Structure 1
């Protein structure tokens, strides 16, 4: 029997994507208040006949079919270091209690929740204590772990995963997840021009990260934060919903990639990425400089350049497939800013695959969900 899931705060479908990869799961309903995320969810998956609500506070538990697993990355803005950390004083911070309300009414065998690491320590730990106390009151045993997505894909993204179950035999068999080896970021051989090449997290091609040669390597790809005095690392910074907002004042935010070249390349208007001109903006190594004019500025590209991650790269760093990316881009016609937001607000799919696979195994081992 498939494990039936109610997908709360579903975003563009991270939990569903992970469950579909594993098989053995089905979905009875979903909920999110972001119209773009809901449209993406419905574009990627057939949801006809499933329960839907666009407001967690308005979920009618009498209308939801029975299910076995409640999942949800409840809004983290009230707890995140990027926000004001008002916790339960922020209306978004109380949405956890909507999950608790559903647990109380439906008593599923399992739940899996996700949030940012500060949820454990904000208000001197009182918030997390209140959450655990409420779950315990409802009869659930809980485990939690802070997992860094860099163990799965080259993106530093630490998140707390909270798993609960009614059967005490599950203790220690879903969490902790132990995974130490990550993947490197490498370039797809798609023959795009520099600056337009898309980098793949699966590791199949020409250039490799700084871990394979360091800053002085030739024609290498390096990850940097998108601000002044950038630091070079082997993993991308945490993808955020504002990935396309340009330079950041927060150190280490907004990941970008750096290209290193041999030689000296004449460049026109180095401070402007899009200009009207005849011929290429960057000329080959050793070529003559562009014609001097009264309106254009000139320069040379000596060490390399920094550019933002493309939306497709952000999707890959979250564990979504190129097929899913292009389906949303073409069928919904989403702008880059909306694609960045979808990726930044999501959950890394391979982490969920790991957790759900362990939950599936323990359910089979103890035959918790009866046919």
Structure 2
């Protein structure tokens, strides 16, 4: 097993060493863990900038796809949060910022003030039954009752504590139909209850990248600050629609070619489901077309997006091609294993789409601020 960790030795005076042990012990940590956390906190604070047109925070940050989009729109990230250690590593390599960990343990008051909250929050089941029972008894249910125990609750409590001008939330298309629409109803009502005007739309990223990728985007503006707000997802669609050929590398390692055993299995599996009348099976991406949705499971066999190769078995995409498929620039560093990279890009967002929505939001905020100043 390869150990990618490196040791750094520091020298302390005896009294400094004793003081450090005392502080670490009082914090319930070993000296090593205390120093480790202190260095990461320093890196986090050192990377923060406030010289952009607006400030934002990056929650459930993953590898920073949402951050890239909002930076493209002129924003400065003043706080990030992501619990996965491999995603934290990629985030650090690209932004010089080690995101804070478990969001459920973060005191919202310690998060810096910001203009826009950005979050690609996970979709968890809500306990609809308890809410329904309270409603039937005529009892009030606030967002704390409705969302407690889910990670969406942490988004709500940060919105309540910090009161940003706007927010953008991103999730899978099926959020709208999850639990027969009840999950989305809770989310929408909770955001409205916090006194934000809320707008949402399912958007396919294939106008920006060669991938069919539908995601729901939820935008909100602070009613307490601006009153009633109107917002439309009138995106500027690029003239050139990208195709798979645009993202392919020219010199690809043989390790990405499917083995005979795997290729035979995928063909047999597809034929079995074809005979059963199902649409399951591998997908060969046309060079002049768009791919299926890249998923976090791509590392398993790559079956949903395969590239044909003359005279040999098809191959899976390389991690760099997956990055391009999501609109990440080639300057984006990939410091993790292929397996982790596939998971990370499969879980990420279409960067140029997020950038386009961020531009719409900042234009609307500027308009609202101008109207407010003229009153």
Q: Which has the higher helix share?
A: 2
Q: Would the alpha carbon gap of residues 231 and 61 (structure 1) be closer, same or farther in structure 2, given more than 3 Å must change?
A: same
CA shift, 1:56, in A, is 1.6
2:283–2:292 CA contact under 8 A, matched in 1: no
Cα distance in 2 for partners of 1:188, 1:128 equals 35
Contact 1:117 1:158 (C-alpha < 8 Å) held by counterparts? yes
Residue in structure 1 matched with residue 263 of structure 2 by the alignment: none
Task: Confirm or deny that 1:241 pairs with 2:296.
Answer: yes
CA distance in 2, matches of 1:39, 1:47: 9
Cα separation, 1, equivalents of 2:173 and 2:248: 37
Contact 2:247 2:321 in 1 (8 A): no
Matched, 1:132 2:183: no
> Does structure 1 retain, via aligned residues, the 8 Å contact 2:244–2:285?
no
| Shift of residue 160, structure 1, vs aligned partner | 0.2
* Deviations, residues 248-304 of structure 1 (Å, cap 9, x unaligned): 6xxxxx211113x4xxxxxxxxxxxxxxxxxxxxxxxxxxxxxxxxxxxxxxx4xx5
Deviation at 1:125, TM superposition (A): 1.0
1:183 equivalent to 2:242? Answer yes
Q: What is the aligned counterpart of 2:72 among 21, 36, 45? A: 21
Q: Structure 1 residues 61, 196: CA separation in 2 closer, same or farther (over 3 Å shift)?
A: same
Q: 1:41 aligned to 2:99?
A: no
CA distance in 2, matches of 1:14, 1:241: 15
Counterparts of residues 157-176 of structure 1 (less than 5 Å): 157-166=213-222, 167-168=226-227, 170-173=229-232, 175-176=233-234
Q: Which residue of 2 aligns with 1:32?
A: 82
Give the 5 Å matches for 1:236-275. Answer: 236-246=291-301, 254-259=304-309, 261=310
- Compare 140-149 and 360-369 and name the one that shifted more: 360-369
CA distance in 2, matches of 1:8, 1:57: 12
Kept in 1, the 8 Å contact 2:211–2:290? The answer is: yes
Listed one character per residue, the Cα deviations across residues 2-31 of structure 1 (whole Å, up to 9, x for unaligned) are 3111110001011211122232x1111111
Aligned to 2:364: 362
C-alpha distance 92-22 of structure 1, shift in aligned 2 (>3 A) = same
Correspondences of 1:195-210 after superposition (within 5 Å): none
Q: Which structure 2 residue ranges, 5 or more long, are not aligned?
A: 1-51, 129-146, 257-279
Q: CA RMSD in A?
A: 3.0
The DSSP-based 3-state class of the residue aligned with 1:357 is helix
TM-score, length of structure 1 as denominator length: 0.67
Q: CA deviation at 1:46?
A: 3.0
Partner of 1:75: 122
Q: TM-score, normalised by structure 2?
A: 0.66
The 1:161/1:188 distance shift into structure 2, 3 A limit, reads: closer
Could you list the runs of 4 or more consecutive aligned residues of structure 1 that deviate by over 4 angstroms after TM superposition? 86-89, 187-191, 193-197, 227-233
Structure 1 residue 231: deviation in Å? 6.0
Give the structure with the higher percent strand: 1
Structure 2 equivalent of residue 105 of structure 1: 161
How far 1:365 moved relative to its partner?
2.2
- Unaligned stretches of 5+ residues in structure 1: 79-85, 198-226, 249-253, 262-300
